[in-house]
Structure 1
Amino acid sequence: MTIRLGIVGCGAIADDMHIPTALSVKQVQLVALIDNDIEQCTRLANKFGVKQTAGSIEEIAGHLDAVIIATPPHVRQALAKEAFQHGLHVLCEKPLANTVAECETIIKAAREAERVLSVGHMFRFYPLRRQLPDLVKQHGLGKILRVIATEGKPYSWPTVTGYTVRRDMSPGGVMINAGIHTLDSLLWWFGDPADIRYEDDSIGGLESNVRLWMQFPDNVEVYFRQSRTCDLPYRICIEAGNGSLIFGTNSVTEYSVKKNGYERNHSCVNPAVDHISCWNEQLCDFAESIVQNRKPFVTGEEGMRVIRLIETCYALKRSRPLPSKAPIPGLTW
């Protein structure tokens, strides 16, 4: 069975990832692009040779089995509900929605419609992240003690709508937009944190710098530093009793192990796979979950889990008094 697919939202992530992936995965047929910006929708359709365009899901629903929702997150709740009402399965970009309440509404709608809801936490398909707990054991590194994760550079994503810096479209800035990948992995590996300390540089707008300290079960400590104004290493370091495992935030397979005074490079997959093959795997998993009537690899409940953590962090920030003006750039409070 080939899944007839529509992509809702014709912004940068559709252009860079979802459309090329849909055209390369044999389990799906990309039928249409959907966006209320008809000019942008037509431009991408012409670029990729997609024959049909539509201004809404309703216009094209009868020709589809499923949709990828790749819009800004503030409209995903309404669009997902509409898709389920038309009997369509949904792969939703991360974040699933802006709030836990919106996530719950989407999950309920999927359940009532008896349709698949998958969330695009694509880093879960990276072999390195999937195998990380086993790799720590294979290299004899012992008990994981702490994780130090940093990522940052001046913001340069070619957004079409500008939603990542607009308070009317997003409840937060760099953490919910980009930090969500690392946070999702941490929850996946270690469970829910027992203790959280959070700081950012917002004084009422959207944060550009974040510092987050968490204590996970089994006394695993995590420090996460993120920025979209400062240059920081894109690196995750897993410190354990007998050594460390280190990899780049965007690494698919490559990592290094520091042990007994030596650091050696490794790959968890041979031959190495790349980002594109992981994107393909995500879409294949979605299509196969529809055909096989099974849960997708990343469910709506998993997508909501990281939003709950982010909401908790933002609530902690709101509970404290704010300075009257921003201090030194990069400073958090």
Structure 2
Amino acid sequence: MSTIGAQDKSQMQQYIKALDKSLEDSQLNSSEKSTRSAFGHKSDEVMKQGLAVFKSAFSSMSSAAERYSEIESVATKQFTNGRELVANLVDNMITKDPRYQGLGSSNKNSLGDGISKLADFDAKFSFAMDQGDYIATSTTKLSQNTEHQKSAGLTGATQDKTASTRFNYKEGNRSDIPPDYYDKQENYTIGTAVKNNELVALDQAHEVDVDKKVYQFNPEISQYELKKELKETTTSESNIRLINDIWLEKNEDSHSMDERKRLSGVGATNEFRTTSSYSHTQLVTLIGDLDKLEQNKEAKREYLAVLSQVNNFMEKSK
């Protein structure tokens, strides 16, 4: 974990919820029986206790980074003039600007919109249950990485938040383990540009990928065969430019899903029912005094020049 950070209670609560959600996803998708996971009730409780200890340590490390930043005057000044300013500008736009539409995906961002003030980190929690023949494992990862940019009168920060969870089996007493797995990746990326202490660009992208396969054992061939599989991707993007009080926002949302389910029982022919779907929407919003640009060529040239500068800055910040 980085040693430079500030207090951010709402973001910390968001990360704690993301950890809880990841563990819940792993448990629910480890077994086809809705009443219990592949770990069993007792192991589920042990796993929850372990995650509670992990969350406590995670919170303590963030608090330690906050205290260190308060002690180190240089670090504090660097942070105050950088990420904290940008974070406050972004929060003000998201929560108070009536023109803001932002991420419109139906798949809610569990990592939290906006820039986190917490110290950057890379955390991992793993749990394994030895069931004799094989070992059931669950791994949850959570990370945050922030970078700062400065060029030709523009400053900004980009931040990447990621959460992932994976369930699968490892070898125990037997090598022919079930190849079942559940994998979920969630990523939220935000990029900004600030000029004269005003937010002139805000780019956000949120993506959730789910990949799941369930197998059944066929005693006739002594092998596992696919029972069902699912691949699903949900994405949402928002790109905002606010220059000379002209609001330009582009929003895109897409969702794709491919699912296969075996129609017959064990040992029967490989017949599957396949379900696929895809959707995509795009919206561009322009709000401002456009007549001013059409009637004043100098103002139009200035707007286009700044817009090009900001777009180049954002592109190089990726």
TM-score norm. by structure 1 comes to 0.22
Richer in helix (by share)? 1
User: Relative contact order (alpha carbons < 8 A, sep ≥ 6): 1 or 2 greater?
Assistant: 1
- Could you state the TM-score of these two structures normalised by the residue count of structure 2? 0.23
